[in-house]
Chains A and B, each alone.
Chain A
Amino acid sequence: MEAIDGVSAEVTRIFAAKEQRRQDLARLPFREKVRAVMQLQEMAATILRARGKAVQPWRIAGHDEKVGAASPP
């Protein structure tokens, strides 16, 4: 994580932790990422509907099943 001018060490550490979190998310199995996308859809849908945009989160039967083996290389 590059140092950012005018940002305290604490905030720099928080930014680094956020970046690490994103890298960790990138390494999740694909099955778990699909679940995360569906959670994002639910969160975004609430906001988008309030703006008058109709969106429909995915409705997948059994998406809470056990996590599968497909992972990014």
Chain B
Amino acid sequence: MKRTLQVLNELERDGVFTRYAIGGAMGATFYTEPLLTFDLDVFVVRSIVCSGAVSAPTSNPPAVIDRRYSEALRARGYSEQENECIRIEGVPVQFLPAYNPLVEEALKEAQEIMYEDVPARVLRSEHLVAICLQTGRNKDRERVRILREQAKLDQNFLANVLRRHQLEDKWKLLTE
């Protein structure tokens, strides 16, 4: 995964996107026991201008490989796609554009980590909880449960996130 992260750093440095952070099951795994997943969810803030194309930076639906990412990756020799992922150094990466204010905030406040000697970013555990609550699938509720049990959540920070993004009721439903 080290090489995968290096490629993501290169894409950010080259302006394909302005910021990225790991989320999803691998993001949660940073704080919890290892969770089974077959892809690496990477949330990204899009560049306004990239490769001569102009596009809106946010508010687009998630889970779509942006043409610019696939072009930039193809130029680097990564063209193997499966489902909606692009395989980068053996890891299927799913790019998820920041699709709402919660994800935008999560990306902005993602924490810097070092993976071996490679810098990377992971969403904060509190934002992962909030995103799972918002998404609300069975596996998201299960992930909230695991994060509650195993991650050291900053309860004040979490409460603020839930309040700002109107997720308090969902939190209560799940936890009371």
Contact = CB atoms under 8 A, between A and B. Distances in A.
Smallest CB-CB A-B distances: 7 pairs: A68-B116, A59-B90, A36-B34, A25-B33, A26-B150, A40-B36, A60-B90
Interface string A19-49: 0001101101011011011001100100000
Contacts of A68: 2, 114-117
Nearest to A35: B34
A26 B33 contact: yes
B66 interface: no
Interface of A: 22-23, 25-26, 28, 30-31, 33-34, 36-37, 40-41, 44, 55-63, 65, 68-70, 72-73
Given A37-B29, A56-B38, A62-B2, 8 more contacts: A22-B33, A22-B149, A34-B1, A37-B26, A37-B37, A55-B38, A56-B92, A72-B30
B86 to A, nearest CB: 13
Given A31-B115, A41-B38, A56-B38, A61 B3 contact: yes
B113 interface: yes
Contacts of A22: 33, 149-150
